[in-house]
Structure 1
Amino acid sequence: MAQFSVNAQRFDPYKNFKFRVKWDGKYVAGVSKVSMLKRTTEVVKHREGADPSSSRKSPGRTEFDAVTLERGVTHDPAFEQWASRVWNFGAGLGSEVSLANFRKDILIELCNEAGQTVIAYKIYRCWVSEYQAMPDLDANANAVAIQHIKLENEGWERDLSVTEPTEPSFTPAS
Structure 2
Amino acid sequence: MGKPFTVNINRFDPYKAFRFHVYFGTSTTPVAGVSKVTGLKRSSDVIEYKQGGDAITRKGLGRTKYEPVTLDRGLTHDPDFEEWANAAQVLDKGSPATSLKNLRRQVRIELLNEAGQPAHRYILHRCWVSEFQALPDLDAGGNAIAIEHIKLENEGWEHDLSLGEPQEA
Same fold (TM over 0.5): yes
- The one-character-per-residue Cα deviations of 1:85-117 (angstroms, maximum 9, x if unpaired) are 00143236x538723221000100000122111
Equivalenced residue count is 163
* Aligned match of 1:62: 64
| Corresponding position: 1:163 with 2:149 | no
Q: Mark the CA change 1:79 to 1:159 in structure 2 (over 3 Å): closer, same or farther.
A: same
5+ residue gaps, structure 2? none
TM-score, normalization by structure 2: 0.90
Secondary structure of 2:96's aligned partner = coil
Contact 1:39 1:63 in 2 (8 A): yes
1:84 maps to what in 2? 86
TM-score (norm 1): 0.88
The alpha-carbon distance between structure 1 residues 89 and 102, as it changes in their structure 2 partners (threshold 3 A), is same
Structure 1 runs of 4+ off > 6 angstroms? none
Calculate the aligned-residue CA RMSD, in Å: 1.6
Q: Say whether the 8 Å CA contact 1:43–1:57 is kept in structure 2.
A: yes
8 Å CA contact 1:44–1:58 kept in 2: the answer is yes
Report the 3-state secondary structure (helix = DSSP H, G, I; strand = E; otherwise coil) of the residue aligned with 1:98.
helix
Q: 2:43 aligns with which of 40, 44, 48?
A: 40
Greater Rg by CA: 1
- What percent identity do the matched residue pairs reach? 55
Whether the 8 Å CA contact 1:5–1:164 is kept in 2: the answer is: no
Pairing of 1:122-161 with structure 2 (within 5 A): 122-161=123-162
Which runs of 5 or more residues in structure 1 are unaligned?
A: 169-174
Instruction: Tell whether the 8 Å contact from 1:20 to 1:28 is kept in structure 2 after alignment.
Output: yes
